[in-house]
Homo-oligomer: A and B are copies of this chain.
Amino acid sequence: MTRRILLINPNVTEAITDTMAAEARRVAAPDTEIVAVTARFGTLYIENRVEAAIAGHAVLDALAEHAAGCDAAIVSAFGDPGLAAAKEMMEIPVVGISEAAYLTAYTLGRRYTIVCLTERLGVWYRECAEEHGLAGRLVSVRPLAIPPDDITQAKEQAGRRLVAECLAAVEHDGAEVVVMGGGPVAGLAAEVAHEIPVPVLDGVSCGVRLAESLVDLAPAMATRGSFARPAAKPSSGLSPALAAWVERRER
């Protein structure tokens, strides 16, 4: 394989890992291998700031455990928990699926909308766009009025209503691109693209393409500034893998 890409699901739910890995493998280049892992601790499905804060730690933990031998990593929960920390920690490129979708939206239009499963997710996704400096072209966030009962069945339970929100975004908000937010709906964008009169993007597929591009561009990673690998420091209470990284990361 030319490229080995680590896909980290920051939720503790394997079913969501499987959904996202399937979409990742569907779009990946033939010479890309996707290594999918699930967070060691956290919650069933990340939906708010509390769960995202826990997940930020879990992402770093997973990187310390699994990144060896990989060429890039994807933080694969929409909302990108722990992403900036992960970029700072690693000497390989790390991308988030929100980040990748937002950046792709910037090249395809001037106004984009995020369609998502719940109101609270919508708040988080918007704050994520702000943190990335990519909220200037975000014209609306459209959560479903009534979320699906079972988020792992989101595509089946809520797919038609998500399409309706996409259409409303075009009609009422002037959206020129729609981002379909949320890991559990990975792959839906491609299935429904023909129904929506503007480009509709999926975080996982954008994330895979962005990760592949960065592997191929191979920019030298930072050795100065706030994204250089931090100096070693004593720690306590961390997992063996993360403690090893924190304490012994000499250069």
Give A contacts to B, CB under 8 Å: 12, 27, 29, 39-45, 47-54, 56-60, 82, 84-85, 87-89, 93, 95, 99-100, 103-104, 106-111, 119-120, 123-124, 127, 131-134, 136-137, 170, 174-176, 193-194, 196-201, 205-206, 209-210, 212-214, 216-217, 219-228, 230, 233-238, 242, 246
Contact = CB atoms under 8 A, between A and B. Distances in A.
B42 A235 contact: yes
B133 A233 contact: no
Contact of A199 (B47, B59, B213, B219): B219
A81 to B, nearest CB: 8
Contacts of A233: 43-45, 47, 51
A134 to B, nearest CB: 7
A99 B107 contact: yes
A170 B236 CA distance: 33
A111 B227 CA distance: 10
Contacts of A236: 12, 41-42
Given A53-B60, A56-B56, A237 B41 contact: yes
A44 B201 CA distance: 36
Contact of A132 (B106, B120, B193, B219): B106
A103 B212 CA distance: 15
Nearest to A84: B49
Contacts of A120: 226, 230
A28 to B, nearest CB: 10
A193 B222 CA distance: 11
A75 to B, nearest CB: 11
A133 to B, nearest CB: 5
Across chains A and B, which 9 residue pairs bring their CB atoms closest together, nearest first?
A: A41-B237, A199-B219, A197-B224, A53-B85, A57-B57, A49-B85, A209-B213, A123-B226, A53-B56
B40 A237 contact: yes
Given A133-B137, A206-B217, A227 B107 contact: no
A243 to B, nearest CB: 9
